[in-house]
Each structure stands twice: as structure tokens, then as C-alpha cells.
Amino acid sequence: MFCYQCQEAAHNTGCTGKIGICGVNDEVIDLQDVFVFTLKGLSYFAVKAREKGVTDLNTDRFITNALFMTITNVNFDADVFVKKIRESLALRREMRKKAEAAGAKFAEKMHESCTWTADSKEEFLVKAAIVGNKIDAPNEDVRSLRALILYGLKGLAAYAEHAAVLGHEKTEIYAFMQTTLVSMTNDAMTTDELVALVMETGKFGVDVLALLDTANTSAYGMPEITKVKTGTRNNPAILISGHDLKDLKDLLEQTQGTGVDVYTHSEMLPAHYYPEFKKYENFVGNYGNAWWQQKEEFTSFNGPVLFTTNCIVPPKSDATYADKVYTTGAAGFPGFKHIETSNGTKDFSEIIEHAKKSPAPTQIEDGEIVGGFAHNQVLALADKVVDAVKSGAIKKFFVMAGCDGRQNGRSYYTYFAAELPKDTVVLTAGCAKYRYNKLEMGDIGGIPRVLDAGQCNDSYSLAVIALKLKEVFELEDINDLPIAYNIAWYEQKAVIVLLALLHLGVKNIHLGPTLPAFLSPNVAKVLVETFGIGGTSEVKADIEMFMAN
Ligand code: FSO
Ligand code: SF4
């Protein structure tokens, strides 16, 4: 195996050998490579059919879900990928027939992903050695740009699927994913064309984030300032993690009257900010911290856990909670029970019964986290914010959105937030916030110094806020605002958020704790020269640099 798609890539070059730093094994990574390879062929026929006016929603959703499944820490189950590759090949045959029937003409020499076929896991694994990203590109810059685009597409797919389950889909987004997958088989594309495709991916990133924002807010209301409890009650309970709000809604509905409480973990925390979820008396609070602390926190939680997406950490062999973890949607792990959708709904009764037999959670803290500063809420405070900027009470905003992770170096973000001058405000989204959302940062004239917009996908809110401030201050350029970007990344959803920000014209974003391993020196140079992308160094020096610019 070779994998370099996340921030933990071994030695910041790539994971090889039997097991990745995230705990995924070589078979799974190899099967994911083959799966993505088959999606390129499937996309070819879907694109050809679309050109003739034939679309297939089943294929659109399959490709979206498939890309989502290959994101870091989403699905660790080799058997699932074997099954999915077979499905992908069967769907490819179907789409080919549909395209042919519609009068589509295919290239005389099609890419191998359009014709290759096999059925056994062994054959799939042999193929992986040839089609993995490491090998399947003419040179290192093309490989790097393709990786940047593919990882952006994966993030885009995750957000598209979250919107789709709430009934919000856009054919243009599906079509873009497919034409882009096909473009990755085109060795004739120049690096300039690939750079343009990177930017176009960012444009679709903005579109998908806007779509998901509409989906979430129209289903669950506008997030509002909320104090979320971190303590526990004495009832049996279920812990829900990941990003899928529809799963949470279904779980809350099904737990009514059962005596079972529901707590959020990691990226599900922002669900508390939505009015719709506040009406559930058994929706108690947030338990624990970011995803990577799950081994300890799932143990002390005592009750079952439901993963709706990433980030899963493989449990140790002696983990007492392993038989209590359930997955659903794109998530999966061998040995965890998977809840499928059946007739459009998910039946969580098994988890609820499991909870009833479990002790109540062990309390690990007892405080509050304040959040809910999505665009609507911040814009409601706009006058106050603008006055604070004009009077000099707020000197600078720091966008510190993104991901948390287990690397020691990430304590940088805690120190950074703590050391920031008192006349600065942190804007955040994603699990990165757990590095500083329990610090006593105080407020500036009633405006809290940490404004949490929500999940990583709600980074969109931060862009909306920036665009609004640009308008209010009558600025030509978004980069003239007193906003600095010091973003922590971990996996591929952060890649699409980054590309979306670049598309919106945001410059001088600093990315840490390390720059992506998949950037070749030339591609990194383009990002630095065109967009001013930078890394991180020492906290004090970085704060001085940001405050001076
Ligand atoms: Fe975090 Fe994991 Fe939300 Fe990611 S829980 S790291 S960028 O999946 O998606 O922020
Ligand atoms: Fe390594 Fe990250 Fe790939 Fe896991 S997802 S194998 S940690 S590069």
C-alpha cells in the first residue's frame, strides 16, 4: 500500500507497509485505490450518457457515497470494499448499456478503468499495485495535482451526501464529480489545466457547502447561541459521533419515551446549536472531546456509540467498548455492527436496547461549551461586531477552523489561542476547536473570544461572515479585512474547505501542523506564490507575524 491522503502520512511522505498511522491496513487502502479506479470507468459512461440526456440518480449517489467511504477514518472494512467494487463494475456495465442505447459513441481506445474487470478480492489486490495514486500518473506534479483534486472531490462527496439525505441534491455537483474523475485518466492534461481544475473543484466546494448549509438550516433551523452541558445524568445513554444530522434526528425520535439519553461526541457537538434538536428533553449534552480521544471516552461512557461518519479509531484488542460501537452510512469497521437504511429509514432499536442494558455514563467533566455562531447568528450581532472593530476593541479575527488530531504538535493550537492578544477573536468550525474551546478566553464587550460556527462544513459560515464584513466595510478585497487564517487540517474534508476558500479569493492561509505530503515541490511552490499559503512555526513568532500583517 501507499497512502498520503491525510495529515498523519508517515514521515510526512506516505504510509507504506502493513498498517497506516490511522490504523487502516494495507488491504483496505489497496481496495480503496481499486474502488476509486473503477469509479473513473463508471464515471466515463455516466458522463457519456449525460451528454445524451440520460442521467441516473442511483449512479450519481453511488459515486458520491463511494468517494465518501474512502476518506480517512471512515471505513476500515475490507469485505465492504470488495462488495462495493463488484457493485461498481456491475453499475459500469449498466451505464455503458444506457449510454449506448442513448446513442453515445465511445473512444476507440478507452481508459483501462472502462474495460478492466475482475471478481475476486485477490484479483482486486493484484490490480491495486498498478492503479494506486503513487504509480498511476505520468510525473510527480501531475500526481500531486490529481491527488489534490481527488481528495477535494472526496470531501465534496461527503458534504454532498449529507445534503442529499436531507433531500438537497444538485445534478451539476454530481456531473462535476464524474467529469473530474474522468479527467484524472487523461494524461494529456497539462499542469496548467490541472491547476484550473483544482480551482474549479474549489468553486464546487463553495456550491456544496452552500447546499449543505441550506439543507441543514431548512431542516433544523438557524443555529443560535447555545450553552452545551458537558456533565452527565443518571440515565442509560447513547453517544452519537460523526457529522450526519439526519441520523441524529432519527435517533432522537426513536429514543423518545425509552428512558435513554443521547449525548454528542466530537463533530456532533454543533447539533446542539440547532433549534430543532433543542426540543428533545433527552438530548443532554456533549461528552468528551475530539475524535482521537475516543478510546478513553468510549470506555467511560459505558453505553453504546453510533458513528455516522468519521473519525473512527480502531479499538485496541482489549477495548471494553468494541462490542458497543455501531456504524451507519459510509462508516464501517470490521466487528462493529452496521445499521443499514431500509425503506428510507434506519432502525436504531438495537442500539436503544443495548443502551438500556448499560450503566449510565461516568461523568468526566461538568461545565459548558458555548457555540452556535453560524453566519445568521453572527450577522445578527453584526452592528456590535462592526462597532468593536471600528473602535479598535477588536484588532483582528483569527480563523482557526479545521480538524483536531492526535499528533503532539497540535498542542500548538492550544498555546496559540491562549497566547493571542486579548483584543483578538477566534472564529472556528470543525473539531479543531477542542484544542481551545474549554479555555477561559473571555469576551470583548459581550462578544465571546471564541466563536464556534459548527462542524467543519460550517466553515462556509466563516466565509459568509467574511464576505458580509467586506461589504459592510466597503472593501474591494476580502484580504483587506482584519482576518488571519491559521487552519489545522487532518483529512480530505479539510481539503475541499481549503479549495473553497481559495476559490473565494482568500489568500495567506497558514496550514498546519504540517503541509500535505501529497504536494510536490512544484505544486507547493504554485500554492505559495499564487495564494500565499504558508505553514506554521513557533507560536510567539507566528502571532507576531499575523498581527503585523
Ligand atoms: Fe474532524 Fe474527523 Fe469534521 Fe474531519 S471529526 S477530522 S475534517 O472527519 O470532518 O472536523
Ligand atoms: Fe496514512 Fe493517513 Fe492514509 Fe491512514 S489515511 S494510511 S494515516 S496517509
Buried residues in 66-97 as b, exposed as e (16+ CB within 10 A):
bbbbbbbbbbbbbebbbebbbebbebbeebbe
- Residues 365-393: tens digit of each pLDDT: 999 999 999 999 999 999 999 999 999 99
Q: 494: Cβ–Cβ under 8 A, 6 or more apart, which residues?
A: 155, 402, 403, 430, 456, 487
Residue 257 reports pLDDT greater than 70: yes
Residue 291 CA, closest ligand 1 atom number: 5
Ligand 2 close to Cβ of residue 4 (< 6 A):
yes
Using CA atoms, how far apart are residues 18 and 35, in angstroms rounded to an integer? Answer: 19
**How far, in Å, from the CA of 493 to the mean position of ligand 1?**
7
Which amino acid is located at 105 in the chain?
A: K
Considering the chain, what is the average pLDDT of its residues? 97
**How far, in Å, from the CA of 514 to the mean position of ligand 1?**
16
Using CA atoms, how far apart are residues 121 and 85, in angstroms rounded to an integer? Answer: 9
pLDDT of residue 437: 96
Note whether 526 and 146 are within 8 A (CB): no
Q: 215: Cβ–Cβ under 8 A, 6 or more apart, which residues?
A: 162, 163, 166, 167, 168
Note whether 531 and 507 are within 8 A (CB): yes
pLDDT of residue 135: 67
- Residues 104-134: tens digit of each pLDDT: 999 999 999 999 999 999 999 999 988 976 6
Place of cell 498498517: 19
CB atoms within 10 A of CB 384: 16
Place of cell 474591494: 476
Reading the block at residue 498, the C-alpha cell is 481549503
Ligand 1 binding site (Cβ under 6 Å of any ligand atom)? 243, 266-267, 291, 310-311, 403, 430-431, 455-456, 490-491, 493-494
* DSSP per residue, 475-519: -S-GGGSSEEEEEE--SHHHHHHHHHHHHTT---EEEESS--TT-
Number of H helices, E strands in the chain: 18, 17
Residue 436 reports pLDDT greater than 80: yes
**How far, in Å, from the CA of 363 to the mean position of ligand 2?**
33
Using CA atoms, how far apart are residues 42 and 356, in angstroms rounded to an integer? Answer: 45
Place of cell 449525548: 263
pLDDT of residue 132: 79
Cα three-residue angle 499-502-505, rounded to 5 degrees: 155
Using CA atoms, how far apart are residues 416 and 538, in angstroms rounded to an integer? Answer: 9
Note whether 361 and 263 are within 8 A (CB): yes
- Which candidate, 325, 332, 268, places its Cα nearest to that of 302? 325
Residue 4 CA, closest ligand 2 atom number: 8
Q: 400: Cβ–Cβ under 8 A, 6 or more apart, which residues?
A: 413, 416, 417, 426, 427, 428, 432, 433, 436, 486, 487, 488
- Residues 309-319: tens digit of each pLDDT: 999 999 999 99
- Best substitution site from 6, 26, 313 to test ligand 2's pocket, by max atoms within 8 Å of Cβ? 6
pLDDT of residue 137: 84
Q: 246: Cβ–Cβ under 8 A, 6 or more apart, which residues?
A: 162, 165, 166, 219
Average pLDDT over residues 499-515: 97
- Residues 321-356: tens digit of each pLDDT: 999 999 999 999 999 999 999 888 899 999 999 999
Reading the block at residue 230, the C-alpha cell is 458537558
pLDDT of residue 30: 97
Cis before 138? omega within 30: no
Ligand 2 close to Cβ of residue 29 (< 6 A):
yes
pLDDT of residue 108: 96
Q: What angle, rounded to 10 degrees, do the helices at 140-164 and 492-503 form?
A: 100
Note whether 431 and 456 are within 8 A (CB): yes
Which amino acid is located at 525 in the chain?
A: K
Using CA atoms, how far apart are residues 542 and 416, in angstroms rounded to an integer? Answer: 8
Ligand 2 close to Cβ of residue 20 (< 6 A):
yes
CB atoms within 10 A of CB 538: 12
- 3-class DSSP state of 452: strand
Place of cell 471505513: 75
Note whether 148 and 4 are within 8 A (CB): no
- Residues 525-544: tens digit of each pLDDT: 999 999 999 999 999 999 99
Reading the block at residue 201, the C-alpha cell is 473543484
**How far, in Å, from the CA of 416 to the mean position of ligand 1?**
20
The DSSP symbol for 339 reads E
- Residues 127-164: tens digit of each pLDDT: 998 897 666 788 999 999 999 999 999 999 999 999 99
Q: Give the 3-state DSSP-derived string for 111-162, with helices as H, strands as E and coil as C.
A: CHHHCCCCCCHHHHHHHHHHHCCCCCCCCHHHHHHHHHHHHHHHHHHHHHHH
- pTM > 0.85: yes
- Which candidate, 184, 189, 178, 145, places its Cα nearest to that of 62? 178
CA quadruple 117, 119, 123, 128: dihedral positive or negative?
A: positive
* DSSP per residue, 212-273: HHHHHHHHH-----EEEE-S--SS-EEEEESS-HHHHHHHHHHHTTTT-EEEE-GGGGGGGG
What phi and psi, each to the nearest 5 degrees, are found at residue 97? Answer: -60, -45
**How far, in Å, from the CA of 253 to the mean position of ligand 1?**
25
Ligand 2 close to Cβ of residue 496 (< 6 A):
no
- Residues 445-480: tens digit of each pLDDT: 999 999 999 999 999 999 999 999 999 999 999 999
Q: For the chain, which domains are there?
A: 2-197 (1.20.1270.20), 226-356 (3.40.50.2030), 377-548 (3.40.50.2030)
pLDDT of residue 183: 97
Residue 488 reports pLDDT greater than 90: yes
